[in-house]
Structure 1
């Protein structure tokens, strides 16, 4: 029969060693070490949630940058009352809106410059066409 024995490590993560009981040694099973999932403090969780909600970054990108599982981040977002898919969708929509607004500003600027050039050309044609 196997049992788990916790060991503490220097880096703070818990390691569990699967140990065999005295009567089980003859069956050829090997012992394995398993690392318990890391425990994150509330400040770290809140920072990750802010990165997704306030900064408008995709949750997959945030999870990859922080080195955490995407499912972990989604569970934190769910616990905070924010749906990960909804936050990502809102972030994409707001990013797309900003891009479109910037494009509209650039096009209006180009149109104003072209209108100025057309006005100058009209005036020059009027001057040159006089007898």
Structure 2
């Protein structure tokens, strides 16, 4: 079969900088691999092979780790906010206890 008779065109060639950038978007920025592939206009399998070649965790594992890390940050922020509210409420309770003591004295 000659080149002109091919049913599918040859896949495009990407330079190393493009590949490295795509891998960084998933590994360092924590973006889902499907989202990155769609944004860059590449096949998800192509991105997965680049991630594998770069020694990055598998995309599913990387996405899971990114979601877990994001959820952990959200929970830590919520804990800080709740502790601050609790501290404020404890202050209000202390003031109310003192005012009750003052008002109950004959």
Q: Same fold (TM over 0.5)?
A: yes
Counterpart secondary structure, 2:19: helix
- 1:127 partnered with 2:105: no
Counterpart secondary structure, 2:73: helix
Pairwise CA RMSD: 1.6
The structure that is strand-richer by fraction is 1
**2:105 and 2:2 mapped to 1: Cα distance?**
101
**2:2 and 2:97 mapped to 1: Cα distance?**
89
Which runs of no fewer than 5 residues in structure 2 stay unpaired?
Answer: none
Could you tell me which of 2, 17, 37 is aligned with 1:4? 2
The structure that is helix-richer by fraction is 2
Which runs of no fewer than 5 residues in structure 1 stay unpaired?
Answer: 6-16, 19-31
Larger radius of gyration: 1
Q: Deviations over 1:54-91 (max 9, x none)?
A: 11111111111111111110000011112222211211
Question: Which residue is 1:76 aligned to?
Answer: 50
**1:112 and 1:101 mapped to 2: Cα distance?**
17
Any runs of at least 4 consecutive aligned residues in structure 1 with deviations exceeding 2 A, and if so which? 32-36
Tell me the TM-score normalized by structure 1. 0.73
Correspondence 1:101-120 to 2 at 5 A: 101-120=76-95
Question: Which residue is 2:60 aligned to?
Answer: 85
Q: Which has the higher contact order (CA 8 A, sep 6+)?
A: 2
